[in-house]
C-alpha cells in the first residue's frame, strides 16, 4: 500500500511558481511572488543557475500574518509600485502561492490597479505552488504569446524553404519554444540546439527563453514554424498557431534525430499542419529499459537511442505530457508508489540521480540529471546531449 500524495524516498519536482520565474527570467520584466517568505530563496538557490551572473527582477512580497488577517493589500500595491518606479521593468507579473490562494486574494483586480498606477502591462499567472514546474512554464509562455508578441502586418508570400527564398540565402524561420534551465540546465544546450537547426538550413528567429533578447520574442510572429522543445512550450505554440497560423513540431533534434526533425519542420511549414515525428520514429518494441523525465525530452531520447542502437526504451513521465510524445508502452505516473511498481518491470533505468533510491534491486542505473527535480545537486554533471550524445551513452 502506498499513499498517493506522499513522497518518502525521492524528491519532488519544482513548483509551477518557479516555472513561471524561469520562463520569464531573461525578458526584462518584474516577477512578484506573493508569499510570506522563503519561496524566492528556494527558487534562486536550488532552481535558478542564472541567478548569480544574470540580473533579473524577481521579488517576494513578504506577506505578514497581520496583513493576511486584515486584508491589507495596499502594502503589496505600494511595494510593487515603488519597485517598478525604481527599476523600470518592461512588464509586471503577479504570482500566487498557497497562503494568498487560501485567502482568496483577487489577483486580477490587483493587476488592474497596478497597471493603472504604474502605466506598465501587469499580468497575473494563475499559479499555486502545488502544481509542477512545467505547468508554470506553459502558462508563462502562453501569456507572452498572447500579450507580448507583436502583430504581423503582412505574412511572407511563400515559405522560406522555397527556391525564391533559398536564392537569397534565407532559411525557414523557426521559433524554439519551451527552453529553460529547469529542463536543459546551463551547459550550452540552448546554443547547441540553435546550431542543430542552423546546420540543417533553418534560421532561428527566437528561443523561448534562453539567449534570446526581448525583441526576438516580440517578433516571433514573423517565423513560419515552431519547434516545441518541452511541454512548457506548448502553451505558446497553440497561441502562435491561432494568431499567426504557425504550425508546430513536437520533439528535440538530438543527433540521431536531426534529419527527421528537419523534415518534419519543413513538412509542417508546407502543409500548415502540426507534426508529431516521435510517434512514428519509435517502434514500440518490448524493452527492458525505461527513461524517467519530461515528456518531450524523454521520448526524444528514447527515439534517438532506438535509432542508434536498435533497442527501444519506454518512457515514464511523472509530469503533464505533451501530445505526440507518449506511446502505448509508456507510462504517466503521479506518485512514488505507482512509479516503484512500474519500475519493477525494467532492468535498465535512465533518470535523475535522486531516482536511484527506488530502483529495483539488481537493475542498472544510468544517472541523467534533471535540474527541475534535483536542483543544484548535480548541475555540474548534467550533459549537453545535443553535443555529447554518443559519448554519454558510450556509443
DSSP 8-state symbol, 309: H
- Say how far apart CA 345 and CA 128 lie, in whole Å: 35
DSSP, collapsed to helix, strand or coil, labels residue 247 as coil
pLDDT of 84: 98
DSSP 103-163: HT--HHHHHHHHHHHH-S-EEEE---SSSBHHHHHHHHHHHHHHHTSPP-SS--SS-TTSH
- Which domains, and CATH codes, for the chain? 16-131 (3.40.50.1980), 163-278 (3.40.50.1980), 282-392 (3.40.50)
The closest alpha carbon to 204, from 179, 182, 167, belongs to 179
DSSP 8-state symbol, 361: T
The closest alpha carbon to 208, from 235, 188, 241, 247, belongs to 235
- Say how far apart CA 224 and CA 247 lie, in whole Å: 8
* The total number of residues written for the chain in this structure: 395
188 phi, psi to nearest 5 deg: 90, 5
For residue 144, count other CB atoms closer than 10 A to its CB: 27
Q: Cell numbers 524553404 correspond to what residue?
A: 161
CB 64 within 8 A of CB 94: no
Q: pLDDT of the chain along its 395 residues, tens only?
A: 445 667 778 999 999 999 999 999 999 999 999 988 765 667 777 888 999 888 899 999 988 888 888 888 999 999 999 999 999 999 999 999 989 998 899 999 999 999 999 999 999 999 999 999 999 999 999 999 999 999 987 555 444 444 333 333 468 999 999 999 999 999 999 999 999 999 999 999 999 999 999 999 999 999 999 999 999 999 999 999 999 999 999 999 999 999 999 999 999 999 999 999 999 999 888 999 999 999 999 999 999 999 999 998 999 999 999 999 999 999 999 889 999 999 999 999 999 999 999 999 999 999 999 999 999 999 999 999 999 999 999 87
CB 174 within 8 A of CB 203: yes
pLDDT of 198: 96
- CA angle, residues 180, 279, 319, in degrees to nearest 5: 40
Amino acid at each position: 500500500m502506498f499513499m498517493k500524495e506522499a513522497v518518502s524516498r525521492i524528491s519532488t519536482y519544482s513548483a509551477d511558481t518557479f516555472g513561471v520565474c524561469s520562463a520569464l527570467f531573461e525578458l526584462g520584466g518584474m516577477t512578484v511572488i506573493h508569499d510570506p517568505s522563503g519561496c524566492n530563496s528556494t527558487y534562486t538557490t536550488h532552481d535558478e543557475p542564472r541567478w548569480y551572473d544574470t540580473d533579473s527582477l524577481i521579488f517576494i512580497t513578504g506577506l505578514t500574518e497581520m496583513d493576511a488577517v486584515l486584508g491589507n493589500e495596499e502594502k503589496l500595491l505600494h511595494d510593487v509600485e515603488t519597485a517598478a518606479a525604481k527599476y523600470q521593468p518592461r512588464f509586471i507579473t503577479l504570482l500566487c502561492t498557497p497562503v494568498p490562494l487560501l485567502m482568496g486574494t483577487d489577483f486580477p483586480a490587483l493587476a488592474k490597479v497596478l497597471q493603472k498606477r504604474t502605466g506598465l502591462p501587469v499580468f497575473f499567472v494563475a499559479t499555486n505552488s502545488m502544481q509542477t514546474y512545467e505547468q508554470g512554464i506553459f502558462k508563462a509562455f502562453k501569456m507572452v504569446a498572447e500579450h507580448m508578441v507583436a502583430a504581423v502586418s503582412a505574412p511572407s508570400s511563400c515559405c522560406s524553404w522555397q527556391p525564391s527564398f533559398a536564392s537569397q540565402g534565407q532559411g525557414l524561420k523557426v521559433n524554439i519554444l519551451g527552453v529553460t534551465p529547469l529542463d536543459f540546465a546551463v551547459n550550452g544546450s540552448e546554443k547547441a540546439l540553435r546550431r542543430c537547426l542552423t546546420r540543417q538550413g533553418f534560421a532561428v528567429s527566437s528561443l523561448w527563453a534562453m539567449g534570446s533578447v526581448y525583441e526576438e520574442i516580440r517578433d516571433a510572429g514573423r517565423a513560419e514554424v515552431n519547434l516545441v522543445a518541452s511541454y512548457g512550450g506548448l502553451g505558446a505554440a497553440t497561441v502562435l498557431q491561432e494568431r499567426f497560423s504557425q504550425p508546430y513540431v513536437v520533439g528535440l533534434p538530438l543527433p540521431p534525430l536531426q534529419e527527421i526533425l528537419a523534415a518534419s519542420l519543413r513538412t509542417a511549414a508546407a502543409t500548415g499542419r502540426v507534426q508529431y515525428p516521435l510517434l512514428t520514429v519509435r517502434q514500440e518494441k518490448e524493452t527492458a529499459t525505461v527513461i524517467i523525465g519530461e515528456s518531450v525530452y524523454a521520448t526524444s531520447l528514447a527515439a534517438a537511442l532506438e535509432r542508434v542502437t536498435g533497442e527501444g526504451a519506454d518512457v515514464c513521465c511523472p509530469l503533464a505530457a505533451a501530445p505526440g510524445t507518449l506511446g502505448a508502452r509508456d507510462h504517466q505516473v503521479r506518485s512514488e508508489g505507482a512509479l516503484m511498481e512500474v519500475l519493477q518491470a525494467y532492468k535498465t533505468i535512465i533518470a535523475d540521480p535522486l531516482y536511484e533510491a527506488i530502483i529495483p534491486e539488481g537493475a542498472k542505473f544510468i544517472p541523467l540529471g534533471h535540474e527541475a527535480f534535483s536542483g543544484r545537486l548535480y548541475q555540474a554533471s548534467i550533459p549537453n546531449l545535443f553535443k555529447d550524445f554518443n559519448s554519454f551513452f558510450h556509443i
